[in-house]
Amino acid sequence: MKPVERWVRQMEATLRPDRVVWCDGSQAENSRLVEGMLKDGTLHGLHPKRAPGSYLHRSHPSDVARTEHLTFIASRAREDAGPTNNWMSPQEASERVFPLFDGAMRGRTLYVVPYVMGPLGSPFSKLGVEITDSAYVVANMRIMTRMGQAALDQLGASEDFVPGLHSLGDLSPDRRFIVHFPEERTIWSVGSGYGGNALLGKKCFALRIASTLAREQGWMAEHMLILELELPGGEIHYVAAAFPSACGKTNLAMLVSPFEAQGYKVRTVGDDIAWLRPGPDGRLWAVNPEAGFFGVVPGTGPETNPNALATIARDTIFTNVAVTKDGVPWWEGKDKSPPADLVDWQGKAWDGTGKAAHPNSRFTVAARQCPSMSPRWEDPHGVPLSAIVFGGRRARIAPLVFESRDWVHGVFVGATMGSETTAAATGRVGVVRRDPMAMLPFCGYNMGDYFAHWLRMGRALARPPAVFHVNWFRTDEHGRFVWPGFGENLRVLLWMIERAKGKAAADETPIGLVPTESALNWDGLGLSAAERQLLLKVDRSEWASEVPEIRAFFDRFGDRLPAELDAGLGALERDLAKVAV
Ligand code: OXD
Ligand code: MN
């Protein structure tokens, strides 16, 4: 018996399903699943002409986002999970979590979902097998990964796969756990059908487990989009950018160039996860391990992201959006005025107050449907990076863009990133939290060790990408965003590429290199001089007021914090003080 068969047999004995189905990923299988879900109410059909091949799923109202407080790293030693992760001992997981799987699939079907993360046939791809009792999860995994027979063929009789056990359980948050065993490379998830908790290839494998594998094997698993930027004359650059959840990664990855006519083109490689490795040429190479997009729907409109709008025009699974009586999906930001006959995300007639679509409602759609995909998005070797960008959502403090002085300083900039929380995870929205490299909820091990790994990777790169920080979200005294964002973000990307090539002017500041006003193209934006200055301003006293909080954050890592980062904070503090006198 093959190792994967042995594991499925063992799990069957605990789960006790009525039926076992090995998924082949075919169209016929998907049609059967969809038919069943339409019958049992898991899916609702949508308008055959205005949303062809698309469906709506309404999740349980208590199961609409990632639940970080119920997400655990079950390493043998608590210190290996580190201070930013919830830790559960493997023993406690066996006693508290595993029993929730006992008989959990009685009366249900157990689906075996073999999948590949990364392009098929790429030397950097990895295999996973998810067991689930949710047909919705199967349908989503088919879009988000290379799922089915091809994965099973690639796996063969190998033991080298990440087993992931998922059951909806009773969907109660009291019995919901998402547990990762980094040493065993195993995932258990019970009590949630929500994407980030239940599609185990995504956050659980491609970030949390993959980050631990990457550290051992000398690569990196990051919460980053990857985009391709073509300059007039055909020169091509790739940029990877890390932003916390729901901060515009998908919009940036699918940016429509306002300067297309002049030969500046932007294409998409990935919108959420990047696996990075040093190449033989000393550069850092990036692969998107996913095959689809699981994106935030609200705010997706003709001005903000026309490429996403075109992508989701058909063959899309919508989760928790609103819908008209005749089945046209709708969400805040789709167009100016909501249709009259809307049913909200919970299936109730919408009275015009509150949100019609849930703020974390999602689309699941195949990447190949996106008109802006790069011809290299499935390149088995990936694409070489010219720049890495970190970004947060900050109403104050952070300027539009700055460049770090070198890789080590870039690691410091990433490690000290702060951002206001969003609806992508349950909990308060709009509170500033440290979210290093946008990996706070996704790093599968001690984040102090993760910083050390970043520093080590820099030493392995003869030609490292330049590292930047951006903030599209600075507001004025009336609380309005100053920077227009979306397509205009290209102007900032162009400054970065010029910097990476050793051109474009910048001013030294204590936090890094900020563009001189004339180095950025402001033409046609209609921004006043005061607005331009606000966007580029580095207010030393504001930054100084962040230092104690950053220090307290760093202190949590004790002796696992690399000395370079401690030194970086000391240098920042001294620089800020110097100018203040
Ligand atoms: C996501 C997230 O779903 O970051 O990508 O929450
Ligand atoms: Mn994400």
| Closest ligand to the CA of 294 | 1
Residue 65 CA: nearest ligand 1 atom is: 6
* Mean local confidence (pLDDT), 43-65: 97
Mind listing the pLDDT tens digit for each residue in 373-399? 999 999 999 999 999 999 989 999 999
Mind listing the pLDDT tens digit for each residue in 484-532? 999 999 999 999 999 999 999 999 999 999 999 999 999 999 999 999 9
- CB-count burial class (<10 Å; 0-12, 13-18, 19+) for 556: middle
Ligand 1, residues at Cβ distance < 6 Å: 66, 195-196, 245, 272, 294, 424
Q: What letter would DSSP give residue 518?
A: G
Element (H, E) at 56: strand 55-57
* Mean local confidence (pLDDT), 268-284: 98
Reduced to 3 states, what is the DSSP secondary structure of residue 475? strand
Classify 185 in phi/psi space as left (phi over 0), alpha (psi -120 to 50) or beta: left
**Residue 166 is encoded by which pair of tokens?**
């998922």
Mind listing the pLDDT tens digit for each residue in 104-161? 999 999 999 999 999 999 999 999 999 999 999 999 999 999 999 999 999 999 999 9
Give the model's pLDDT for residue 338: 93
Range list of β-strands (E), 61-117: 71-73, 86-87, 109-117
Give the model's pLDDT for residue 231: 98
Q: Which of 23, 247, 370, 443 is catalytic?
A: 247
Residue 426 has pLDDT above 90, yes or no: no
Residue 25 has pLDDT above 70, yes or no: yes
**CA angle (342 as vertex; 369, 57 as ends), nearest 5:** 50
Question: Rounded to an integer, what distance in angstroms lies between the CA atom of residue 31 and that of residue 341?
Answer: 29
Contacts of 551 (CB under 8 A, 6+ apart): 569
331 close to 322: Cβ distance less than 8 angstroms: yes
* Mean local confidence (pLDDT), 286-309: 97
| Closest ligand to the CA of 425 | 1
Query: How long a stretch of residues is the chain?
Result: 581
Give the model's pLDDT for residue 578: 85
Classify 257 in phi/psi space as left (phi over 0), alpha (psi -120 to 50) or beta: beta
Mind listing the pLDDT tens digit for each residue in 317-373? 999 999 999 999 999 999 988 999 999 999 999 999 999 999 999 999 999 999 999
Give the model's pLDDT for residue 538: 96
Residue 272 CA: nearest ligand 1 atom is: 5
Question: Rounded to an integer, what distance in angstroms lies between the CA atom of residue 126 and that of residue 200?
Answer: 13
* Mean local confidence (pLDDT), 563-579: 94
Element (H, E) at 341: none
443 annotated active-site: no
330 close to 309: Cβ distance less than 8 angstroms: no
Question: Rounded to an integer, what distance in angstroms lies between the CA atom of residue 153 and that of residue 143?
Answer: 19
Which residues fall inside 5 Å of ion ligand 2, going by CB?
Answer: 245, 272
Contacts of 482 (CB under 8 A, 6+ apart): 474, 475, 476, 527, 531, 534, 535
C-alpha of residue 307 to centroid of ligand 1, in Å: 19
Residue 67 has pLDDT above 70, yes or no: yes
Residue type, 482: V
395 close to 480: Cβ distance less than 8 angstroms: no
| Closest ligand to the CA of 426 | 1
Pairing of strands 236-242, 109-117: unpaired
Give the model's pLDDT for residue 429: 82
Task: Give the global pTM.
Answer: 0.97
End-to-end CA distance of the chain: 73
563-580 and 407-415 helices cross at what angle (nearest 10)?
A: 90
Question: Rounded to an integer, what distance in angstroms lies between the CA atom of residue 366 and that of residue 379?
Answer: 17
Give the model's pLDDT for residue 536: 98
How high does pLDDT run on average in the chain?
Answer: 96
Residue 580 has pLDDT above 60, yes or no: no
Residue identifier of the C-alpha nearest atom 1 of ligand 1: 245
Band of residue 430 on the pLDDT scale cut at 50, 70, 90: confident
Residue 237 has pLDDT above 80, yes or no: yes
* Mean local confidence (pLDDT), 193-201: 96
- Max alpha carbon distance in the chain (Å)? 74
Give the model's pLDDT for residue 579: 60
Residue 423 has pLDDT above 90, yes or no: no
Give the model's pLDDT for residue 581: 47
